[in-house]
Amino acid sequence: METPRITLFIIARNEESKIAKCILSAQGLVHEVVVINGFSKDKTALVCRELGAQVFDRAFDGFANQKNYALSKVTSPWALNLDADETLSPELKEEIARITQHTDCAGFEIPFCNYFLGKKMRFSGLNKEKHLRLVRTHQAEYVGGLVHEGLKVTGRIGCLQNPINHYSYDSVETYFRKFNKYTSLAAEQMYQNGRRFSLLFVLVTLPFEFFKRYILKLGVLDGLRGLLWASFSTFYVFVKYVKLWQLEEQNEK
């Protein structure tokens, strides 16, 4: 039985060093590749076009809006979403090809194999991560604001067994380059949702955030990387709330 048509779609900005690996990992499975380019300043668009992808330029105005725009460009019955720093494992490609031939599901959650600073994270709460990434195109819609978009699907959702490889941060520099953008978006989203800064809440939250990731989620078993992940994640929460406080200060003026 022939595999139904599948489109890979990616939203990206300044990802010339990673996006080729992402697209190449899906070759042989997907029938088209759609890239929504947030006006990259590097060669992201050129790399994608050289690999046969359709590239559409669109200013970033939130993850949900960007991904819904991507879905509107998909012409296949099935849509598969990857980030530029993610790849399909060969086993996952075979599983997707097989399961889409005979299923009544409208979407599938896919487990993640997360790499941090070049090494697979076996604990730290990252070992049980899964996301809804494969959907029937016309039964799916992204909801949410600037960050933490959700994928709403009309129909039953299944779960695949094989993982997406996520090479999230290959260096500390890469982590903090993205850190600034994401903490700003998160603070803006909280402010729009009516959240306000509370010093007491932050003082209580930060120690628990570290304890949760390093002890409860067994980050200690990931060695130095586990300690760094717990520390960076806690600092992320701190900076997010500092930026929320700053927004409040600016708007009061």
26-56 pLDDT, tens digit each = 999 999 999 999 999 999 999 999 999 999 9
- Tell me, which fold does domain 6-168 have in CATH? Spore Coat Polysaccharide Biosynthesis Protein SpsA; Chain A (3.90.550)
Q: Residue 166 — φ and ψ, nearest 5°?
A: -115, 110
Are residues 33 and 54 in contact, defined by beta-carbon separation less than 8 angstroms? yes
Nearest to 70 by CA among 154, 147, 8, 9: 9
pLDDT tens digits, 157-204: 999 999 999 998 999 999 999 999 999 999 999 999 999 999 999 999
What confidence tier does 210 reach under pLDDT thresholds 50, 70, 90? very high
What confidence tier does 1 reach under pLDDT thresholds 50, 70, 90? low
Q: How do the domains of the chain map onto residue ranges?
A: 6-168, 171-252
Instruction: Say what the pLDDT of residue 149 is.
Output: 85
Higher pLDDT, 206 or 149: 206
Q: What is the pTM of this model?
A: 0.90
Average pLDDT over residues 221-235: 98
